Chains A and B, each alone.
Chain A
Amino acid sequence: DTEVTQTPKHLVMGMTNKKSLKCEQHMGHRAMYWYKQKAKKPPELMFVYSYEKLSINESVPSRFSPECPNSSLLNLHLHALQPEDSALYLCASSQDSNTGELFFGEGSRLTVL
């Protein structure tokens, strides 16, 4: 079990759909992350929020839109995705953005048709 909760676990969407991925942690962590992971590859950083402010955007296409409503929640809004966006999307948190010690959720497996 992990203390970072992600929903949904699985999502299938068409290229014209709008959906959201959600992430929640109650460890009091002040940094939260979105990663994308393809099979048998390392996670690729997408976004970092530090103290609820976006601190890193790894040149992610605008069809991915992150949101941090409060220090415990992180959303990833999805719109007009492409089939190549199909992947496992991982949320992680850490005490702050300096340590590198991340706590990962189980991920949301996204399939874009």
Chain B
Amino acid sequence: AQSVSQHNHHVILSEAASLELGCNYSYGGTVNLFWYVQYPGQHLQLLLKYFSGDPLVKGIKGFEAEFIKSKFSFNLRKPSVQWSDTAEYFCAVKGQGAQKLVFGQGTRLTINP
């Protein structure tokens, strides 16, 4: 069975700080990996995805994530956060052959101006 673990429940940073949100998954096979973001009052939207190829993927709004297969990790990073990055961030995994997309519990990110 697939599972996803996000280590940080609530992260509070000041503007211009660097960000790294942890995500680990368990699945014994090939996976598709995702970060979704939910800004306050808005719909869930895709931030970035990894299917195959270069393990460093770039998404919207300056976010990137690195897939480290040996560590079963897909951490999200941004070198300099902005107040508008305040949101809930969900890591998700879809194993090849698995029926469902599995979400982590989410990390609430608060950026203080």
CB within 8 Å of B: which residues of A?
A: 2, 4, 40-43, 45, 48, 55-56, 90, 92, 97-107
**Chain B interface SS verdict (over half):** strand
Q: Which residues on B are within 8 Å of A, measured CB to CB?
A: 32, 34, 36, 42-46, 49, 51, 88, 90, 92-94, 96, 99-101, 103-106, 108
Query: Which residue of chain A lies nearest to B45 when distances are taken between CB atoms in the complex?
Result: A104
User: How many angstroms between the C-alpha atoms of A45 and B94 in the bound complex?
Assistant: 13
Chain B hits for A99, CB < 8 A: 32, 51, 94
- Report the number of A-B residue pairs with Cβ-Cβ less than 8 Å: 54
- Shortest CB–CB separation between residue A94 and chain B, in angstroms? 9
A40-B108, A104-B45 known, 18 other contacts, Cβ within 8 Å: A40-B106, A41-B105, A43-B44, A43-B103, A45-B101, A48-B99, A48-B100, A56-B99, A92-B44, A99-B94, A100-B34, A100-B92, A100-B101, A101-B32, A101-B49, A103-B46, A104-B43, A106-B42
